[in-house]
Chain A
Amino acid sequence: MKHLLSAADLSRDDAEQLLTTAAQMHDVQRREVKKLPVLRGRTVVNLFFEDSTRTRSSFEIAGKWLSADVINVSAKGSSVSKGESLRDTVMTVAAMGVDALVIRHHASGAPAQVTDWVDATVVNAGDGTHEHPTQALLDAYTMRTKLGDLAGRRVGIVGDLTHSRVVRSNLILLRTLGAHVTLVAPPTLMPSGIADWAAAEGFSYGYDFDEVLPTLDAVMMLRVQKERMTGGFFPTPREYTVGYGLTRDRLRVLPEHAVICHPGPMNRGLEITADAADEARSLILDQVSAGVAVRMSVLYHLLGGAES
């Protein structure tokens, strides 16, 4: 495995191995000396063309704990704001002799495009509305810590499916790991062609959250992306909450053993109530903590060995 561009790049064995290694990395995270020498002498560049706090900082910490040299380049304050193209920016950075580029870009497919231009390993840290594979890995990792093997488990992904890159990566990875996935969204936020997609990939979808809720082992609430909500997708935030928010009433219907995930940042009171976010069953903070371990595992598997 040279790049990680899509959750579809991972076979079940790959995914299992990444998650197993992540568990070992998680142990390292609890040690006093959080440093492993595996990527000594390697350079990782975080190239973020979109704002991000948790993804960028967790990639940065992951790289540093593996002893790589990590450099952050953000679009603001770089030549990108002077009008440099993606290709020129990437080639310039790569020409300095970096080993890996971690790329977040607003255009779907940008990281895949970059692999044609540079020799370095490319990790997709979120591209447009396409994919965010490391988020899917950390979601799966976190769910596994509470639910065990995900094969046969039922996971509901609820919310703004149209604008979410998390949903595609999660769907693919959860299917790879053998889980049953149900997508739930208001009709305006359901991706077009969902029927064909669901039939081809073998997952289910619906518009009624309350019908799906009692059957779930895990519920993943997606953020309502206010910055992308310009098309009148729902009449009022209140109406969204009533139909698709994880409210106090719905918490009572959710099975006792089921866990709650949210990729963050949360809109408390909109897609998730404060009660749900702070519940014991909520894994939201575990997800953040797992983020570093999972990204360490990804960087280790991509850069740790000889090039094959």
Chain B
Amino acid sequence: MERPDTAVPRPDAANASGRIVLTEADISRALRRIAHEIIEHNKGVQDLVILGIPTRGEVLAQRIERLLHEIEGTDVPVGSLDVTMYRDDLRSQPTRAVGHTSIPGDGIDDRTVVLVDDVLYSGRTVRAALDALGDLGRPRAVRLAVLVDRGHRELPIRADHVGKNLPTARSERVSVRLAEHDGVEEVRIAASGSEGIR
């Protein structure tokens, strides 16, 4: 799956392998474009709520919020949405740690929610996020922004805002590393490691 389990840097963070597909500058440009797209699509930032899916989606959501503020000069509610307990593969793995959910004070009812994640892959995380949202309220619309879309969808789900479309083989691994969590800022693609498919 495309989601890390915890906030702990991945074991491979130290001995980085594979090739870099997005550099720090690329990531920064992609996020800025996504922010502009969100504003354009929404015709401003009114009634927007940005929700990141932990761990790295949460970081990206905060960055997008800062960019929106910078461009439009208004605060946009930002929060995080943990989907662990809505996953469809809970039973096939040891119990996962539950992440952090924080919904901005005014809730999500009748607002446009922009879900933010680092990598879009099977689409199962997003499905879980949609279920989780359903228990929290009824947004007017839900949009999806991802830094990388690597294909291989298993569900009818697509992103509205994509930083980079990255054709991959299922056996390859895509790792997003962000300064806040990993100390480095890059997206790498590597041939399958011992960790299995990502």
Contact residues in A for B99 (Cβ distance below 8 Å): 24
Asked if A300 and B85 sit within 8 Å, CB to CB, the answer is yes
Q: Is the CB of A24 within 8 A of B100?
A: yes
Q: How far is the CA of A308 from the CA of B98 in the complex (A)?
A: 18
Q: Given the interface contacts A31-B135, A31-B136, A35-B135, does A301 sit within 8 Å of B95 by beta carbon?
A: yes
With a cutoff of 8 Å between Cβ atoms, the chain B residues found around residue A308 in the complex are: 94
Contact of A305 among B86, B95, B137 (CB under 8 A): B95
CA distance A36 to B87 in the complex (A): 11
- Chain B interface residue count, CB cutoff 8 Å, equals 19
Contact B94 A305 (CB under 8 A): yes
Contact with A along B93-123 (1 / 0, CB 8 A): 1111111110000000000000000000000
Chain B residue at minimal CB-CB distance from A301 = B95
B96 and A305 form a contact (CB under 8 A): yes
Establish whether residues B135 and A300, one from each chain, have CB atoms under 8 Å apart when the complex forms. Answer: no
- Assess A306 versus B93: contact at CB under 8 Å? Given A37-B85, A38-B85: yes
Interface of B is mostly: loop
B41 contacts chain A at the CB level, 8 A cutoff: no
Does B82 have its Cβ within 8 Å of any Cβ on chain A? yes
Q: Give complex CA distance A252, B79 in Å.
A: 43
**Min C-beta distance of A114 to chain B, whole Å:** 22
Q: Are B90 and A20 in contact (CB under 8 A)?
A: no
Question: Cβ of B43 < 8 Å from any Cβ of A?
Answer: no
Q: How far is the CA of A37 from the CA of B90 in the complex (A)?
A: 11
- B97 contacts A305, CB within 8 Å? no
Q: A33–B98 contact, CB under 8 A?
A: no
A17 within 8 A of B: yes
What 8 pairs across the A-B complex have the smallest Cβ distances? A305-B95, A33-B135, A38-B85, A305-B94, A304-B95, A21-B98, A24-B98, A36-B85
